Structure 1
């Protein structure tokens, strides 16, 4: 929403009428360029009017046939009696306007004005000469010069670019019916100027300056000037709109692109949906401190709407936790959708501004206002960082969504940043801030007022809700088959609590029944990846389509790249396109990109933070990430399994060197499933880590074959006190019970402490050991 200053043309610039038939004459140019009023006139080649911005480069665009012989451009309609300002013939440009640098002609014959001035608000005439017919075609174009200025910015209205001796500025406001004097000046001899209002300034040339444009400055501005011989006038139609309105409009357009681009299935890259069409309002829990403050419990708050209304979650700082694939990003997109389409009854109805930032994109970009401008506003936005700061500070209610703290590459940076200050409530104290992250990657420093919430995953109700959505397009038979498959396969039932797994499972059940036989996350993922490759292969069967090879488990270079990246930094699965191409080869890269396992993103890279305001210090890069981090762990697990197989005496602690193994549980689980003989070594490694017992137990579920080689690890786990709690995930609960069942069958004693409110059902078995 910009202000536009329209320059009304003088009557003398409008096309004339009824001229007598003149005799043709040759203009100053090639002999072939003869002008006559009898030439055929056409508006076909150039649209009219065309709008050019004051002070910028402007082009009068025309669709001119390529077979033209010569072109002349005139800055009036009097093409028969004036010289062209620029012309081109036989690929040679000439003319007074070309020599002075005021005009240029593009390759297609369009006219370029190198700096648009008020005098260019007029009619221009295009004359075309075709070599074959020697026919001349004329096209007239009305050019309207506009000035785009945001509220609270400086505006200078040019009276004229010519030398003048006298001028007077007048204004007519919208509610007025007459022009009133603003100022006048005499510039010849002893100079004298006088202003009738202190809200304006005057330049030495006679231009009118409005230091800080506001709504009250709207109206028609007219400058009448004279050089002593001729008089001229220019009129500006000034309309002003609030910069905040433009800011909100640009934010809304950005969020529309985000929430309309939800991609449920990796290989269906063009099958995008609006977030409300796929979003399921699953359960959310809040961590509540019981009376006395010695014990915290997770309590259900129901819908995501209750994040803002439930008294247990009331705070200006909230963290939404969730395991991989639980929909942390999805809930931020849903909130953005709700804000863009809010009404008075909406839970976000009173939120003036919503800021949604994906932290994985913010590498090296520090000031939050710069982040907002670079990642949320269009490249040609005229809103400055200072204006963004002012808008936010003056807004009544602001909601800031920081998505993916676990992918934030600067999270371990000790240097204080705006993101850290926001989380610690040293900045944006009155704003509502929601951070999403994995449960194992919480910020080290947060405000004491921070409330923790947790996504509950897909229960049976949420699963049914998703299968009923039109975008899934499932028949009743397939819906029943999905329900029965989950009920009959305990492992599948556990895995389908992860929304990402369930969504892929639901879409694939349309084509196959093999999911019913899967009994581990490794077998599920193996089948899933096979389906992705199979889908691409079918597309490759089309005629004249380049065929890729098909190593479903990834070639060595690709799996090594995935593993090395996790070992180097497990916080942000993003690489540059050039890095990946160099590492795995262009063909491999294009194949994984086409399948959907890799995704490209445009990102801003700050070369010199101190000079970031300069365009030379900002570089746009195409970065690459995995569709989901679990896919990176899948391919990294292949490399780990292969390496273990080739190096049986390998010391895992030296080889892995991972910063936070607890955040890479799927890497270890996949590796145990892929290389069953090496599972004992992985489980043994996890047991030695602080808090690694739970993840070691999860790996047992991946041992679908002979378990004799892990009995020592099972015995060691059972020497510790075991507590199966309803607060553990169902998958972990099942892993505990499977561990106890293995111990019972193999006469291994254990210390089973308690079994509180667990949510899994298993066949009865008897314990041999110490039940405390």
Structure 2
């Protein structure tokens, strides 16, 4: 294919001379480092092809990415480094210094049009930490005052900036005659890794007739203002030498008078503020003490001793023109925004802050203690633990799960319309998202909690690229830790602040109500509701917008779980997990960060069963870190097979591959079973908040085994209670499955009762792992699942967990593929997911599937990912050998969906027949690349609108429908058929 592309352009360049043009792609273009950059172009729609090169030698070089006939290709697209927008613009997923230089793009409107060539210079930029230059002699502010002599030097500088900008000094004056003359402007540039430190020193001479204040500024030269707008204003105060008089008196200079005036104004303002403060203190006193004594007492007394005021008292204070709590809170916010707590700043130790002076001090102390608490959480894992938060929250490792936004205004006939979101940062910038109440939903393991921890991480460490830097106060509550607490402020104090804090609940309430820039995250909110059904609390009032209605609130819940009190006024966002491209990027990022086992895709290719669960972010984190430590090269035929080998090694945390697995199992089987019993109790009672004291665990498991699983990160201590619990539900499910396997085998008479007490959808992994532990347990669980409604595919998936012979697995899947796979819109989500899982296994094993029937469940086609998105939110790839794909959609006209399905099959499918039933298709389609692609793959397209009408086949040469006799469908026949009723029916089985 690469040869064909090169040959095409050699021919074009020989016979059709290139036309160099720059209007469509302006140059230069500036892209910020370590961010997503777009080289903007605006090509005419419907073009034949766009080819991008990372050099000017487009004649002999191969394109890094190109878009031709509805298909994106190229080494840059495969690696995930580049992408193309519909208008031909080039996307660089993460800009680096390697992208600085010339890019060339060649544009073909059609095969017969002349080639148009654009060369674009890309300049990589790095914005400095401050939006103004530093001036020597001034404080770190964008404005300052300097007292100067008639002659001297002025120096300003900008650090950590790219490219090499130039600075200049200039006067700000309305007078034609300058008051200051700059001479010998000397600039210095020091390289600082990827950035530069720029400094400018200029000598000056003042016009001595212009005594007083002269305003100058240090700015970026005009040719760089389209990149940066940096300026610092300096007010130069000049005072001539004192003039002696006959009476040996002195005449004050005009500038000295000005200084006295400014100083007097400042003193008056300070005195006014102090008076207002003291008057406010007096108004809050209930006694009739002497005013002078009362004020003296208030100045030295603690603010914590003052009684709380109601709303009516605040209104009375405001009516007298005095600052209210809200006004004061706003002032405190402005102070905080100017002086954010950076990572390198000294943070006061616990209990060292004097939080009793006033609201300002309390707000600053509250923020500091919050950040201290979050830092404890990030560092809570043992230094040797492979499950440390900081390992996969860092910017160079973290990769987001897929996300979608529900657009309620575009819902049609009960079908939810979900729009993809590029980044979690869009939650705070997308105009379609209501920022006040947001529901973040997703299946277990898809990264809801990790995402909220990423928000906390960004806020704690002031990550520049994150929108969280604009948030003054960030509160993340794990609702499993809240228990039955009804007070939100009590929960904040008990879980997010140190025990030594002097803040009261009323202080926290006052701080939050006085701050506008507040983000609250209630993680796993449904766990709180399960334990507190029908209870009215602060949390339910916050969710229903009755309390803290002006604050931003994000709730995370299980997929499709909608709290009743939230629905009328919320935005719904759901996580869709890792697709192949995102998972690959994440695994490679994490592998590089750990300096080992770089090519994760090779291992997944050799172990296709693990690929099917590696889309779960939490599993991927464990997955890559374990393999990095072990350098494992074994082959596995199920997830359980992999975990049975890896988790005991994780428990030992020694990664000694020479020791035998069987010995480890036998040695610790009894202790694992005890821990599994506790895990099973947690899951079946939905009491995921259960935690145990260390004394209880030592007695239950023994000190040695307990230390091993704590060190490995399987159990972690809750910092607020000092009790231990499972770090992730994934581990809880594994140990519960080990217990369940023994339980169902030893108590076969009670198996139905045991399983009926379990929730099928919540315990998906428990059932799968249980079947992988013991063959007799697999038989019992499999029979039970087959007796349940809508569980055939899941039952088969569970049975496969116990098969550790690759040949047997291949035979079972081959036998399944000889039958029909049905995915129905009314099926359980678990059954849909299991069916797609089995199809993906067939794809990895390169086994042809006879037939797939999608019944009323197709939502849209994603041409970029080459997948079909179902109404449930799941995605189905068609990159496997498939004899027939049938789509039933009784929803009337589906032209766009129909065309996109044809495009998808034309570029990526290995199907031989595409069949549509029940829906209205266009009477014909335009002859072009789509039909040529289908014809080249010998794909047959059929349409049967209902069971009484004939079936038509699409002529790939003419784009018209024809019946089995070869007769073309006429317009009159088409119109009559469209008017007929649509009857849902089961398709005829293939012969």
TM-score by length of 2: 0.46
- The answer (yes or no) to whether the contact 2:402–2:576 under 8 Å persists in 1 is yes
Name the counterpart of 1:630: 730
- The answer (yes or no) to whether the contact 1:472–1:507 under 8 Å persists in 2 is no
CA-to-aligned-CA distance 1:666-708 (integer Å, 9 cap, x gap): 1001011222343343234345556656643542442536689
Cα distance between partner residues in 1 of 2:679 and 2:700: 10
Name the counterpart of 1:375: 495
Q: Give the direction of change, closer, same or farther, for the CA distance of 1:759–1:516 in structure 2 (3 Å limit).
A: farther
Name the SS of the counterpart of 1:378 in structure 2.
coil
For residue 653 of structure 1, the aligned residue among 737, 748, 752 is: 752
User: Equivalent residues in 2 for 1:395-474 (5 A)?
Assistant: 395-405=515-525, 407-408=527-528, 411-439=531-559, 443=563, 445-469=565-589, 472-473=592-593
- The answer (yes or no) to whether the contact 1:662–1:692 under 8 Å persists in 2 is no
For residue 594 of structure 1, the aligned residue among 689, 711, 715 is: 711
Cα distance between partner residues in 2 of 1:418 and 1:239: 28
The offset of 1:564, in angstroms, is 2.9
Name the SS of the counterpart of 1:631 in structure 2.
helix
Name the SS of the counterpart of 2:550 in structure 1.
coil
Cα distance between partner residues in 2 of 1:264 and 1:520: 31
Cα distance between partner residues in 2 of 1:594 and 1:639: 23
Cα distance between partner residues in 2 of 1:262 and 1:252: 17
The offset of 1:309, in angstroms, is 1.8
The offset of 1:514, in angstroms, is 4.6
The offset of 1:502, in angstroms, is 2.0
Q: Give the direction of change, closer, same or farther, for the CA distance of 1:456–1:670 in structure 2 (3 Å limit).
A: same
Name the counterpart of 1:735: 837
Gap runs ≥5 in structure 1 = 1-171, 183-192, 217-237, 542-546, 604-620
CA-to-aligned-CA distance 1:392-437 (integer Å, 9 cap, x gap): 1121232101122355485453322222222222322222111123
Q: Give the direction of change, closer, same or farther, for the CA distance of 1:581–1:437 in structure 2 (3 Å limit).
A: farther
Q: Give the direction of change, closer, same or farther, for the CA distance of 1:322–1:672 in structure 2 (3 Å limit).
A: same
Please say if 1:494 is aligned against 2:589. Answer: no
Please say if 1:248 is aligned against 2:367. Answer: yes
Cα distance between partner residues in 2 of 1:369 and 1:196: 37
Name the SS of the counterpart of 1:242 in structure 2.
helix
Name the counterpart of 2:638: 520
Count of aligned pairs: 534
CA-to-aligned-CA distance 1:720-754 (integer Å, 9 cap, x gap): 8756999999963433538999xxx9x99997747
- The answer (yes or no) to whether the contact 1:408–1:572 under 8 Å persists in 2 is no
Cα distance between partner residues in 1 of 2:712 and 2:833: 29
Larger helix percent = 2
TM-score by length of 1: 0.58
Name the counterpart of 1:103: none
Please say if 1:560 is aligned against 2:684. Answer: no
Please say if 1:352 is aligned against 2:476. Answer: no
Computed over aligned residues only, the root mean square deviation of the Cα atoms, in angstroms, reads: 5.0
Name the SS of the counterpart of 1:313 in structure 2.
coil
- The answer (yes or no) to whether the contact 1:365–1:371 under 8 Å persists in 2 is yes
Name the counterpart of 1:46: none
Name the SS of the counterpart of 1:622 in structure 2.
coil
CA-to-aligned-CA distance 1:156-197 (integer Å, 9 cap, x gap): xxxxxxxxxxxxxxxx99968xxx9x9xxxxxxxxxx96447
- The answer (yes or no) to whether the contact 1:409–1:572 under 8 Å persists in 2 is no
For residue 768 of structure 2, the aligned residue among 664, 669, 680 is: 669
Name the SS of the counterpart of 2:510 in structure 1.
helix
Name the SS of the counterpart of 1:596 in structure 2.
coil
Cα distance between partner residues in 2 of 1:759 and 1:750: 12
Cα distance between partner residues in 1 of 2:642 and 2:618: 12
The offset of 1:239, in angstroms, is 7.8
The offset of 1:508, in angstroms, is 3.1
- The answer (yes or no) to whether the contact 1:404–1:435 under 8 Å persists in 2 is yes
Q: Give the direction of change, closer, same or farther, for the CA distance of 1:770–1:511 in structure 2 (3 Å limit).
A: farther
Cα distance between partner residues in 1 of 2:298 and 2:574: 61
Name the counterpart of 2:442: 322
- The answer (yes or no) to whether the contact 1:730–1:759 under 8 Å persists in 2 is no
Higher relative contact order (CA 8 A, sep 6+): 1
The offset of 1:304, in angstroms, is 0.6
Name the counterpart of 2:147: none
User: Equivalent residues in 2 for 1:174-213 (5 A)?
Assistant: 195-196=291-292, 199-200=295-296
CA-to-aligned-CA distance 1:613-670 (integer Å, 9 cap, x gap): xxxxxxxx4322113111121121112212333344x343312353533111110010
Q: Give the direction of change, closer, same or farther, for the CA distance of 1:470–1:651 in structure 2 (3 Å limit).
A: closer
Name the counterpart of 1:508: 626
User: Equivalent residues in 2 for 1:577-616 (5 A)?
Assistant: 577-603=694-720
Cα distance between partner residues in 1 of 2:656 and 2:639: 26
Name the SS of the counterpart of 2:536 in structure 1.
coil
User: Equivalent residues in 2 for 1:127-166 (5 A)?
Assistant: none
